[in-house]
Structure 1
């Protein structure tokens, strides 16, 4: 995982037909078909939120990278920002942490990529727990999925072709919120 500049982020997003919106969020380009959204209030227990974070990372298709970016309307208190900075940059200073894009890159090595997924899931868990604002997108070819977390609400953005699968994703999680993604597959 690495911190990238806004200009670099815009280049990465352009390559996958996404852009940064007016308040710093990741969104579809204006000339793209509108996306469907599914918003839901996540569970309130820490263990269920932790499990949900892993489900949300698994919902995003695997590409070469996944980008994470906060938006300009975050209201995390200073200690939470310092904690986030420690997670993302291993530093105590919280300066500009919420406006910086971060790139989680996949290497093709299963062990290394699993660590990358765990790191991303930990950051997603942080935003669920502290009800911050974050937007996440994958470089997977053809994917129109965007994951947003805002004020404790999870929003799954997707194209019309993936809408039914996203609804099913939510139903599967709600049926057993303590089953991790690989366990859900064996339950079906």
Structure 2
């Protein structure tokens, strides 16, 4: 691969020079041969859009442009022209993924922004799992235990899973009792 330092410091000047496809190229109709702003040229054995992505990174292009060349250019651009239909299809797919991600994030972690960092989603999902687990322990296991020591250990374990689990359990029990008493008086 021939690469030289660019004479220009503006990464925007580095545009692809499209050419006829070489045999065996992954995207034959999307064949980049060189850079319009410098002496960069791709190696005959390298996929052109990926090589051009590396070149744009080398000349200071921001991450989103490097991502464009690595991931999107071969799908939405050919011979230097944007394919509006391809862009529309990709944006439609992207929109569907973002809507689905929001739904999943909301269900798993109580978060709905599709660009939420994965660490926050995982943390929220862990908290929800602990809350459900503590609730199951207090509602299903605790009533089956007769001795006070076992009950104390189960309550402590539920509290270790979710702070305030015992208070929440007691409050839900009081609400259920009030509902039962109300239902009994309305008959």
TM-score interval w.r.t. the shorter chain? Answer: under 0.3
Q: Which has the higher strand share?
A: 1
Greater relative CO (CA pairs within 8 A, separation 6+): 1
- Larger of the two Rg values belongs to structure: 2
TM-score normalised by L of structure 2: 0.22
